[in-house]
Amino acid sequence: MPNIVEIASSSDNFSTLTAAVKAANLVEALCSEGPFTVFAPIDEAFAKLPPGTVQTLVENPPQLARILKYHVVSGAHKSADLGKMETVISLESSPIPIRVEPIFEVKNATVLTADLEASNGIIHVIDTVILMG
């Protein structure tokens, strides 16, 4: 079974995310055993950010890494597990609010596809880049 990075790299929907993970030097960490739960923004989610934001972040790897770590949680949490929690704590150390009813949402992002299994965790595909604060 492929790991989180291999799944993202093989999908046309995650080219921006894959490039960002590489720019932030997080590939090795996300290829490790984990397990991790990743809230993975699709390319259209990055496109919703103000013009120039992605380029500015790529030029600032520590800030980019902080934002990307906000999309990752320690442990493999499927949607059924997340439905029992009001928040989870990201690898960035900030809380991420979770709501599964009436629709599955992570902070201000809607989960488009839930429970994609990887060898080192779970991926939930989201429609918006989530930010701390």
Residue 105 falls inside a structural domain: yes
Residue 12 falls inside a structural domain: yes
Residue 132 falls inside a structural domain: no
From residue 24, alpha-carbon distances to 28, 66, 78, 89 in Å are: 11, 9, 26, 20
Place of tokens 């080219």: 15
CATH code, domain with 86: 2.30.180.10
Q: Can you tell me the distance from the alpha carbon of 64 to that of 86, in angstroms, rounded to the nearest whole number?
A: 26
Residue 109 falls inside a structural domain: yes
Q: Which pTM value belongs to this model? A: 0.96
**pLDDT tens-digit profile of 34-51?**
999 999 999 999 999 999
Residue 131 falls inside a structural domain: no
Place of tokens 């929690």: 85
**pLDDT tens-digit profile of 99-119?**
998 999 999 999 999 999 999
Q: SS3 for 75?
A: coil
Q: Can you tell me the distance from the alpha carbon of 100 to that of 53, in angstroms, rounded to the nearest whole number?
A: 29
Identity at 120, one-letter amino acid code: N
